């Protein structure tokens, strides 16, 4: 089923997108790009730790939990200081990040286990696939909840 737009609808859509990008887009694209770079670094570290631990005969589940927690701490620090550049509400942001990351760890551990034990994937491929599947939902959750901009009348807990 194809959706056909009239010239007027196409023009309205184009103008709407231009307006949105002017208002929000450049900043969002920059955050997403930085997040992608930092997440790539985190993903490499996460995979190396996971593969190292599993090669040392540590089972899949504890290996994934350890590598995810290491990545969680590294990623929070880098995104707080380098990407979203927030110095306010650090305790609240960290708590939000931990809750989101623990949820991520539970889901990712299930995915990795499923990919390796049930589908017979190689460990490296399973881990990379799990990271790819979870990247966008994790970015959105952290962007909206952890690294949101607080209004100036809210109390802060600057560190």
pLDDT tens string 119-156 = 999 999 998 899 888 888 888 888 888 887 776 545 54
| Tens digit of each residue's pLDDT (9 = 90 or more) over 39-54 | 788 888 889 999 999 9
Which band of pLDDT confidence, cut at 50, 70 and 90, is reported for residue 21?
low
Res 157: pLDDT: 45
| Tens digit of each residue's pLDDT (9 = 90 or more) over 4-17 | 667 887 777 677 76
Does this model's pTM top 0.75?
no
DSSP letters for 92-147: HHHHHHHHHHHHHHHHHHHHHHIIIIIT---HHHHHHHHHHHHHHHHHHHIIIIIS
Please state the φ and ψ torsions of residue 79, each to the nearest 5 degrees.
-70, -35
Res 158: pLDDT: 45
| Tens digit of each residue's pLDDT (9 = 90 or more) over 53-82 | 999 999 999 999 999 888 888 888 887 777
Res 107: pLDDT: 92
Measured from the Cβ of residue 66, the count of other Cβ atoms closer than 10 Å reads: 17
What is the signed CA dihedral for 109, 112, 116, 121, rounded to 10 degrees? -170
């Amino acid at each position: 089923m194809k959706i056909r737009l009239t010239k007027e609808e196409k023009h309205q859509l184009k103008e709407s997108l231009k307006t949105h990008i002017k208002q929000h887009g450049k900043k969002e694209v920059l955050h997403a790009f930085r997040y992608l770079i930092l997440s790539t670094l985190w993903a490499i570290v996460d995979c190396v730790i996971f593969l190292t631990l599993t090669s040392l005969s540590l089972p899949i589940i504890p290996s994934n939990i350890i590598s995810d927690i290491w990545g969680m701490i590294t990623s929070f620090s880098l995104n707080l200081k380098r990407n979203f550049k927030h110095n306010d509400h650090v305790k609240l942001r960290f708590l939000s990040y931990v809750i989101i990351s623990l949820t991520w760890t539970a889901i990712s551990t299930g995915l990795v286990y499923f990919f390796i034990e049930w589908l017979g994937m190689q460990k490296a491929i399973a881990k990379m696939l799990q990271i790819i599947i979870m990247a966008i939902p994790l970015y959105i959750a952290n962007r909206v909840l952890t690294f949101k901009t607080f209004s100036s009348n809210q109390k802060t807990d600057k560190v």
